[in-house]
Amino acid sequence: MIHPLILISVFVVCTVLGYFIIRNVPSLLHTPLMSGMNALSGVTIVGAIGATGLAFLAGSGPLAQIVGGLAIALAAVNVFGGFGVTHRMLMMFNKKKK
Amino acid sequence: MSVIQIVISAILALLVLAGISMMSKVKTAVAGNLLSAFAMLAGVVATLLFTGVVSVWTIYVAILIGALVGSLMATRVQMIQMPQTVALFNGLGGGASALVGILSALGIGFSAEQQLAIAANGYAPFVRFTALLAVAVGMVTLVGSLVAAGKLHRILPQKPLIWKGHSLCTLFFLVLTLGFVIAGLFVRGGAMTVCLVGTLVAASLFGLWFSVRVGGADMPITISLLNSLSGVAGSIAGMAISDVFLVAVGGIVGASGLLLTQIMCRAMNRKLMSILVGGKGKPAPKQPQIPVKENEELVKRVMDLEKKIKELEAMVADLEARVKTLDGQIAGAAAAQPAADAKPTAASVLSAAKDVIIVPGYGMALAQAQHQVRQLADKLESRGARVRYAIHPVAGRMPGHMNVLLAEADVDYEKLYEMEAINDDFKKVDAVVVIGANDVLNPAARNAEGTPIYGMPVLNVDEAPEVIVCNYDLKPGYAGVENPLYTREKGVYLELGDAKETLMRLIAGIA
């Protein structure tokens, strides 16, 4: 386990970084950007996989597998759908560049 | 968690950051999105390896199901349904974080060493607290997003719903949620289950109460805020299970989502708080200051009006001259169109226009008329006219909604102008074509106090000499405020009906 203070500081640092990195986005890209970040919020799949896997190995029973599996599936819908939709949108912006 | 794992997590988080920053420029956006997706994939693989759960088959089944559903939705969904799709995906992500939080709150999903470490270092309160917080934020995201998606998909009423004692209930549920989460710091065993269930219920109710009141032009902002929240939920869940990558990426998404929300709020002249708790665009609570400001504003407005009257007189003279030349043209074309009378029509105005601004709105999305809009622009351009598009920051149901649709119709994005860049040009152009837009150009926003759109910056379409409105009907828009522009006596041409058809008529009518 990592010390809570380290976790919190990682959170703070990333928050600041994230804040500065998209300061000057043209509103043209707000939708794809929002949808891209939406896909990224599916990153919780990582946590879901870890927790479900460990619960399986520890033999925590079928209920944990159902809850965990549901978490993984929902997050996967978020990730795959999110990146897919974002890609589709961005391709539309780019096709006339050729 | 080994050092290697932390280093890899940091590298992947940096990749995600790089991906997001690449997405803020059109040229590199596609690559940025792919980079973020790759970083995510690498994160999943790293988790499988480092946690030692590669052999657990249930994981792959769940991923497969989710991937199938997600990919199908991503390829099938129409561009017009994008806002509710994003909202739905977002909610699911929040729901997943809540579920992870539930597992952690029950002490499930930790390895034997992790459990020992938690007990030895006294991290248990931190784990319980963050797990419950993840459940709370996740549930708010899930319920809020589902309500938002339902409203956008027209399953739920789109108008803001206000229930009895709404603000009080909202506040109560929020406090209740926080109470359960904080209680998680101190309890154990059976009481923890009570806290968990309490958090689940209270947070869901808060999510419902807060999102059901949002309507109209505040919807895009709410979706963006929920987007940010789902990142925060993930990050907190990451704290509960001690996963650096999850904490980092969640934090990035949360912060950039919040910033995006702020940018939108600024574009609409709305305070985030007033959207969250104030509900229906009431004027700011600083009552005593308003009259003073209003006086100043009134004087300024009268002076502006006088100036405008002079401008209008000049315009009218100009128009009369133009009508005369048009009359000449129509007389010339009389053989072909004997029925044409001297009155200018939308088509004749456009035929003569050399500088046109197109204002698209949600109606264009509904009618799927972006290709016809493009055809109209092509036709005008082939006649030597300059055509630009004025995009209000919240046109449509999502910021950037119009840009996406116009991009689909191959409109060059250099012709798309943001509100500030083009708002002064409306009075200089020959004609403005409004396609399915209402609230974003409603001049009532400047003075109709107490309405949802009051104070929102609008496109100055009313300053244009000729306005052609291709709306489905004259009913008030999403915000429910009448548009005085429709009843303007001169220079407004109402082409009502399905935008696809009216546009085709216009294109055919341009001689």
Does A86 map to a domain? yes
Digit-coded pLDDT (tens) for B91-145: 999 999 999 999 999 888 888 888 888 888 888 889 999 999 999 999 999 999 9
User: Is A15 part of a structural domain of the chain?
Assistant: no
CA angle B144, B286, B288 (to 5 degrees): 155
Under the banding of pLDDT at 50, 70 and 90, the label for residue B485 is: confident
pLDDT in tens, B41-79: 999 999 999 888 998 999 999 999 999 999 999 998 887
CB-count burial class (<10 Å; 0-12, 13-18, 19+) for A61: exposed
Boundaries of domain holding A93: 28-97
Q: Across all residues in chain B, what is the average pLDDT? A: 84
Q: How far is A3 from chain B (nearest CA, A)?
A: 8
Rounded CA gap, A6 and B226, in Å? 26
Q: Is the minimum CB–CB distance between B501 and chain A shorter than 8 Å?
A: no
pLDDT digits (tens, 9 = 90+) for B422-448: 989 998 999 999 998 888 888 888 877
Q: pLDDT confidence of B332, banded at 50, 70, 90?
A: low
The whole-number pLDDT of residue B276 equals: 67
Whether B239 sits inside 8 A of A7 (CB atoms) is yes
In a domain, A81, yes or no: yes
Backbone angles phi, psi at B429, to 5 degrees: -85, 170
Domain count, chain A: 1
Q: Which two tokens stand for residue B102?
A: 């539930």
Question: Nearest CA to CA, how far is A98 from chain B (Å)?
Answer: 11
Q: In this structure, is residue A4 part of a structural domain?
A: no
DSSP alpha helix (H) spans, B213-288: 219-241, 244-268, 272-273
- Arithmetic mean of pLDDT, A68-90: 92
Q: Chain B partners of A59 at a C-beta cutoff of 8 Å?
A: none
Contact present, B246 and A47 (Cβ < 8 Å): yes
Question: Edge-to-edge strands of the sheet including B416-418?
Answer: B416-418, B386-391, B355-360, B431-435, B467-470, B492-494
Q: Which residues of B14-32 are buried (b: 16+ CB within 10 A; e: fewer)?
A: ebbbbbbbbbbebebbbbb
Average pLDDT in the B26-34 region? 88
One of B218, B243, B430, B439 is an active-site residue; which one? B439
Distance between A32 CA and the closest CA of chain B, angstroms: 8
Which residue did the predictor score with more confidence, B51 or B268? B51
pLDDT at B289: 37
Q: Do B251 and A10 touch (CB under 8 A)?
A: yes
Decide if A83 and B33 are in contact by the 8 Å CB cutoff: yes
The answer, yes or no, to whether ipTM is higher than 0.90 is yes
Which secondary structure element, helix H or strand E, spans residue B422, and what is its range?
helix B419-422
Domain membership flag for residue A43: yes
- On whether any CB of chain A is under 8 Å from the CB of B277, the answer is no
A34 vs B contacts (CB less than 8 Å): 86, 223-224, 227, 257, 260, 398-400
Please state, in angstroms and rounded to a whole number, the distance separating the CA atoms of residues B326 and B345: 10
Lowest mean pLDDT segment, chosen from A6-10, A57-61, B176-180, B305-309: B305-309
**Whether B439 is catalytic:** yes
pLDDT mean over A56-65: 88
For residue A60, being part of any structural domain is answered with: yes
Asked if the structure places residue A73 within a domain, the reply is yes
A66 touches B: beta carbon within 8 Å: no
According to the model, what pLDDT value does residue B300 have?
Answer: 77
pTM of this structure: 0.76
Structure tokens at B119: 């007990």
> What pLDDT band is residue B395 in, cutting at 50, 70 and 90?
confident
| Per-residue pLDDT at B388 exceeds 80 | yes
pLDDT in tens, B189-234: 788 899 999 999 999 999 999 888 887 667 778 888 999 999 999 9
pLDDT of B342 over the 70 cut = no
The answer to whether the Cβ–Cβ distance between B99 and A71 falls below 8 Å is yes
Say if residue B290's pLDDT is above 50. no
Instruction: Tell me, yes or no, whether A14 lies in a domain.
Output: no
Quick one: angle between helices B57-76 and A44-57, nearest 10? Answer: 150
